[in-house]
Amino acid sequence: MSIDDFFWLYDLPTHQLALLFVAVFVGFYWIGSILLRPLLRPVVKYTAGANDIVGYVLSCFCVFYGLLLGLIAVTAYQNVADAGANVTREAAALSALYEDASRYPEPYGQNLRWLLRDYTRYVIKYAWPLQQKGVMPEEGTIRAAAVHDQLLEFQPHTPAEQILHAEALRQFNHFLECRRMRLYSVTSSLPASMWFVMILGAVLNIAICWLFDMRFITQLVLGGILAAYLGTMMFLIFDMNQPFRGDVSIKPEAFEALYERMNEG
């Protein structure tokens, strides 16, 4: 079983997904307190100052585990930020290419503008919903190839047209580069080894809490608070794991603004 098997969770509303993570972690802690705590308690039951020792171990463990969660959360957010920057760069390159196409002689200019509008509409209406499902859209390649063919069909006759054509080809290549980076971001996520370490650390963290000698109700409340926060952190990292899925995801706003401007021109 891999982390991909749990991607159906992105289809849940954000508040339900957050509550689910919290409920799983708190429920695991409470069930373990009832079933596993009696088995683990004898390990330290007859040790003098057992609570102090367990507290010291838990403090040291939480420092390392907290650093790990913080670094992984930053990494996940950076992946989202990088994917968002790629989307913005692609829209900017497409906008510059559209401006260059507006200066081409007819009918090449009109054909190029129509193809670029069609590509932008496809990204907004069809590619983005697929990306939000974790599917890499492929049909945009056909539309990009049509733009390329139209550019290559044009033969400049004046020095001004040569300069314009060279700049349009440069912008088109930059657009393709940004497009590939966006497509690569669709399936980018944290490696399974990171998830294994995070989940193992959460289980060990909870298991250490079971070793404390205190009233059962007190342990349920205090440990439940810790487990709830662990669940919240896991939810946050999971929500940022896929740049185009979840609440913390990239929206097609840059392409929507560009498409609106294309229709005004």
What's the pLDDT tens digit per position in 64-98? Answer: 998 999 999 999 889 899 999 999 999 999 999 99
- The phi and psi torsions of 158 (rounded to 5 degrees) equal -125, 160
Q: Is the pLDDT of residue 265 over 70?
A: no
Question: For the residues of 132-189, what is the DSSP string, one character each?
Answer: TTT----THHHHHHHHHHHHHH----SHHHHHHHHHHHHHHHHHHHHHHHHHHHHT--
Structural domain count of the chain:
1
pLDDT tens digits, one per residue of 137-190: 888 899 999 999 999 998 888 898 899 999 999 999 999 999 999 999 888 888
pLDDT tens digits, one per residue of 32-42: 999 988 888 77
Structural domain of 175: 3-264
pTM of the model: 0.82
